[in-house]
Amino acid sequence: MKKAILFTLTMVVGGPACADEVQVAVAANFTAPMKQIAARFEKDTGHKASLAFGSTGKLYAQVVNGAPFEILLAADNATPARLEKENLAVAGSRFTYAVGKLVLWSSNPDLVDTRGEVLKNGQFKHLAIANPKTAPYGTAAVQAMTKLGILPTLQSRFVQGENIAQTYQFVLTGNAELGFVALSQVCKDGKISAGSAWNVPGDLYEPIRQDAVLLAKGKNNRAAAALLAYLKGDKAGAIIKSYGYELH
């Protein structure tokens, strides 16, 4: 009888016993906040989020080729919409979880001025940029330089990262003196954590609306539904804003 009662209590209060796991593909710029959100999500719900990071373009290719992802957190809104049209994502599940910001950053605290004039005076050899064909932040960087009329003069200095995470590493390690990265990579609690930076004005590039979508493989996974709901909540929102993103 005691064993039966103990078993019943375990089933009632032991949340993790009923927990599920969800496979999440995450755009590289959202690495740090998503790690925090996943840890809080597991603590609060018992569900586990298994994370894989990469450029949005490469994550899309993996989904198309049968990767076991159940949620995509993209760095744009076009890719999730495309997956919906291709019946690889659940229609109506897409929403904007964050609006990203582009920043020109250097680990050298004296290199980048607050108006971005360093791009015109040419006091550097290498400029890191994410691949604009697969990384939305790379696309935004090209748009900004095009509007400023400086793209042709800077292209020969590009050091191209496969994704925004690698681009950030190029600048951090000094392989490039400066580079266009996501504000979230160099911002904590609303401040630039190190180095020098220019917040690229939003009118120089198209808004970086980052959409989440439930992929077809996750439509029956309770943990997937729970994570998407969690991303819309106040706890996740506070973490997202602390990394310099705006909420839609």
| Res 12: pLDDT | 37
For the chain, the domain total comes to 2
In a domain, 6, yes or no: no
CA distance 123 to 104: 14
Give the structural domain span for 40: 21-99+208-242
* pTM score of the predicted model: 0.86
| Res 5: pLDDT | 40
Question: Is there a single domain that holds both residue 95 and residue 105?
Answer: no
pLDDT-flagged residues of the chain (< 70)? 1-18
Question: Is there a single domain that holds both residue 185 and residue 136?
Answer: yes
| Res 56: pLDDT | 95
Question: Is there a single domain that holds both residue 48 and residue 139?
Answer: no
Give the other-Cβ count within 10 Å of 54's Cβ: 22
| Res 18: pLDDT | 66
pLDDT, tens only, 133-147: 999 999 999 999 999
CA distance 242 to 177: 26
Cβ proximity of 88 and 213 under 8 Å: no
In a domain, 64, yes or no: yes
Question: Is there a single domain that holds both residue 200 and residue 105?
Answer: yes
Q: What is the CATH number of the domain that holds 59?
A: 3.40.190.10
In a domain, 166, yes or no: yes
Question: Is there a single domain that holds both residue 147 and residue 105?
Answer: yes
Cβ proximity of 215 and 63 under 8 Å: yes
